[in-house]
Amino acid sequence: MTLLEQRQDTRQEALLEEAIGIGDDIIDSRDLDLLRENANLNGESFSGKMSKLGSEYSKWYARHFTLPPRLTHAVRENIVYVHDLDQYVIGTTNCIFIPFERLLREGFNTGNGSVRPPNSIMTAMALTAIIFQSQQNAQYGGVSGSKLDHDLAPYVAKSFAKFFRKGLDYFGEGQAAEVEGEIAMGRTDLAAAYPQAFRYAMKETESETLQGAESLIHNLNTMSSRAGGQIPFTSINYGTCTSPEGQLVIASLLTATMNGLGSGETPVFPIQIFKCKQGINQQPGDPNYELFLKAAECSARRLYPNFANLDAPLNLAYYDPADPDTEFATMGCRTRVLGDRFGRNRCSGKGNLSFNTLNLVRLGIRHGMVTGQREEADEQGFYDDLDHYMEIALEGLVHRYRIQCAQKAKASDFMMREGVWEGGEVLGPEDPVGDLLKHGSLSIGFIGIAECMKAMYGRHHAEDPDIHAKAVAVVRRMRDFCDRKSEELDLNITLFATPAEGLSGKFTKIDRSELGAIPGVTDREYYTNSFHVPVYYELGAARKISLEAPFHELCNAGAISYVELNGNARSNPGAFVKIIRYALEQNVSYFSINHPIDRCSACGHEGVIGTNCPSCGAHEEEVHIRRLRRVTGYLTGDYQTRFNTAKQAEVRDRVKHL
């Protein structure tokens, strides 16, 4: 046997051993962190394991046979991470904003049958859930509606007109044919001329809209459609429609959320985002101001909605008051795709294609002073390495993009056939989708700016103003790189504040095993999310917001900031609103407030529960206490059973920003 043949045999044996190990870890539940990478999936269920087997072997194939060599090496160095690697080789895309307005207006086909346009808000809400479900099967990331209040308002109007006509006949006030003009909720002349029919129509429409909102939220929490038994990863944005019909949609969604699910549980999905805009809902006298206050109340009780800042400078770049689809909206954990160098500077009909993340901590350790190998940080070496690995991360994104572009329209059937991705409806089943995907974004993400600064300078960015400036400079360097490469490659290259759910522990585990437990850097089970202040660092809410705010303008692929409150959030709505307002004033683009929500399965009590339920006295060893927490932008049923160990450790370390 030649030396080459011996090497080939050795490699084949290593590949086989690795493949067997992957299967055993999943089948025997030996690696719970692997099974809990996605907190939205029960990885220990039959369907979860089946999904994970396919996912992990797809990753294995990509690592060994598909990735560019430089990217493979950077991944092995633990500096670059390829998100959703299991989808790489088949060319699936990440996430999308769905054009609900057009799909509901024109009807659609799920592939098994066609659906007519709805004639009531109840039906429209039901079809919205079906569209979410159908689109989720065509991709791997989040699905979102950017302006659901605007999209659903016409169907509230249809319901009102239906009930008004019925009321005219029922109360004997006249015939519908006698009514001039369009029948609408905002017509005070109709209220004066036909008072009984108008009141009846209003009451029935309000009831039907609330029932529709309840059905939408219940459906999106119960209809499993993703591989492994996941429910669709859905987001809805609303808050700016000022018509009576749109206002009723907003109010009904908030009421249904506050009411909870069948037994009063807090809904995990959809992720809800209230869009804040001066002149619309931010000051007393604004048409939707009371809805903003209701949104804050709902968030204080149910953790949703989060709050999007339409007035942040980054989000005003493409804003057209006449087109609600140009309003900033987000999806999933924080994704933003508003800008498009090819002219589609709006949300619906496109999304993010893929993203790769850089481990800034590893670079900080390599060039910093924390290891004691140098007296001061090697900033030039750090930036040279940063540029080098950004090039590699981008090389991987472009390589993956070429695979995605080569796919045929029939591979993402619903998305392309129904024009969910704008323009897909004109393609034939065999046509490649490349010319359409250019409107999407390719994103470079980052994690651990706090630990990076600690490794470089001995302090993180919340501990020293000079270090904070250096942290901002690092992120600005990354944004400048993305902007420059967008011009060079004529693609939408953007910078992402990575919502590191499973990654926060993966990077750390490898770095600690190879470099040791470095105090303040690798000595915890996780790295800090993107540019956030470490969760264990004690400071006030206003200070945390002001420290993180400058990074939002730089992260044009998406970012979010949080503050952590104690269990009194529900009983202090004034303070809740004040914190939201301060974040908006600081130009935070996307914001939310965390607070613990525990639920006793014995009596249904919700609030902060220790070892004993304060309502019925049940002990946590006797009954299940469901402890709801937010992870990277969305909620999970119980962080103790769904979060991986790194995220569980992060939750335990979270201090309150009082």
Q: Residue 132: which of 247, 258, 39, 217 has the closest Cα?
A: 217
Q: How many CA atoms lie within 13 A of 73 on its CB side?
A: 7
Residues 60 and 109 in one domain: no
Residue 489 lies in a domain: no
Token readout for 309 is 């800042």
CA distance 72 to 62: 10
Residue 415 lies in a domain: no
Q: Quick check: pTM over 0.85?
A: yes
Judge contact between 524 and 440, C-beta under 8 A: no
C-alpha angle 429/434/438, rounded to 5°?
Answer: 135
CB atoms within 10 A of CB 276: 25
Q: Which residues pair with 306 in a beta bridge?
A: 273
pLDDT at residue 35 in the model: 47
Q: How far is CA 387 from the centre of its chain?
A: 28
Residues 113 and 59 in one domain: no
pLDDT tens profile 24-51 = 565 555 554 544 555 555 556 656 656 6
- Contacts with 530 (C-beta within 8 Å, 6 or more apart), sequence order: 445, 446, 447, 449, 497, 498, 499, 500, 551, 555, 559
Judge contact between 171 and 203, C-beta under 8 A: no
User: Is the link from the previous residue into 305 a cis peptide, with omega within 30 of 0?
Assistant: yes
CA distance 656 to 652: 11
Domain count along the chain: 2
Q: How far is CA 58 from the centre of its chain?
A: 24
Question: In which residue are the tokens 């915890």 written?
Answer: 524
CA distance 302 to 266: 6
Residue 249, judged by CB atoms within 10 A of its CB (0-12, 13-18, 19+), counts as buried
CA distance 203 to 14: 69
- Contacts with 574 (C-beta within 8 Å, 6 or more apart), sequence order: none
Domain end (from 12, 43, 66): 66
Please provide the DSSP assignment of 89-106 as one string: TTT----EE--HHHHHHH
DSSP state of 452: H
Domain end (from 47, 66, 85): 66
Three-state DSSP state, 322: coil
Residues 49 and 132 in one domain: no
Residue 515 lies in a domain: no
Judge contact between 362 and 78, C-beta under 8 A: yes
Strands (DSSP E) contained in 579-629 are 590-594, 597-600, 606-607, 625-628
Residues 195 and 129 in one domain: yes
Residues 146 and 35 in one domain: no
Residue 331, judged by CB atoms within 10 A of its CB (0-12, 13-18, 19+), counts as buried
Residue 31 lies in a domain: yes
CA distance 194 to 191: 5
CA distance 301 to 258: 7
Please provide the DSSP assignment of 471-515 as one string: HHHHHHHHHHHHHHHHHHHTS-EEEEE---SSHHHHHHHHHHHHH
Question: pLDDT under 70 in the chain at which residues?
Answer: 1-52, 54, 225-229, 501, 568, 632-644, 647
Residue 92 lies in a domain: no
Residue 198 lies in a domain: yes
Q: Which amino acid is at 624?
A: H
Residues 60 and 114 in one domain: no
Question: In which residue are the tokens 């009063």 written?
Answer: 264
Residue 553 lies in a domain: no
Check which CATH number belongs to the domain holding 224 and give it.
Answer: 3.20.70.20
User: Is the link from the previous residue into 270 a cis peptide, with omega within 30 of 0?
Assistant: yes
Question: In which residue are the tokens 């953790």 written?
Answer: 303
Region of residue 633 (phi > 0: left; psi between -120 and 50: alpha; otherwise: beta) = left
pLDDT tens profile 504-530 = 788 999 999 999 999 999 999 999 999
Question: In which residue are the tokens 């949080």 written?
Answer: 562
Residues 265 and 142 in one domain: yes
Residues 39 and 182 in one domain: no
Main-chain phi, psi angles of 18, to 5 degrees: -65, -45
Residues 45 and 136 in one domain: no
pLDDT at residue 12 in the model: 62
pLDDT at residue 245 in the model: 98
Judge contact between 545 and 592, C-beta under 8 A: no
Token readout for 411 is 């591979």
pLDDT at residue 604 in the model: 81
Residues 219 and 290 in one domain: yes
pLDDT at residue 238 in the model: 98
pLDDT tens profile 413-470 = 899 999 999 999 999 999 999 999 999 999 999 999 999 999 999 999 999 999 999 9
Question: In which residue are the tokens 């993340």 written?
Answer: 357
Residues 140 and 58 in one domain: no
Residue 231 lies in a domain: yes
User: Domain range spanning residue 284?
Assistant: 104-326
Domain end (from 287, 310, 326): 326
Judge contact between 135 and 98, C-beta under 8 A: yes
CA distance 202 to 204: 6
Helix-strand-coil percent breakdown of the chain, rounded to 5? Answer: 50, 10, 40
Q: What is the chain's length?
A: 658
- Contacts with 318 (C-beta within 8 Å, 6 or more apart), sequence order: 326, 338, 339, 345, 346
Residues 51 and 115 in one domain: no
Token readout for 490 is 């004529």
pLDDT at residue 572 in the model: 82
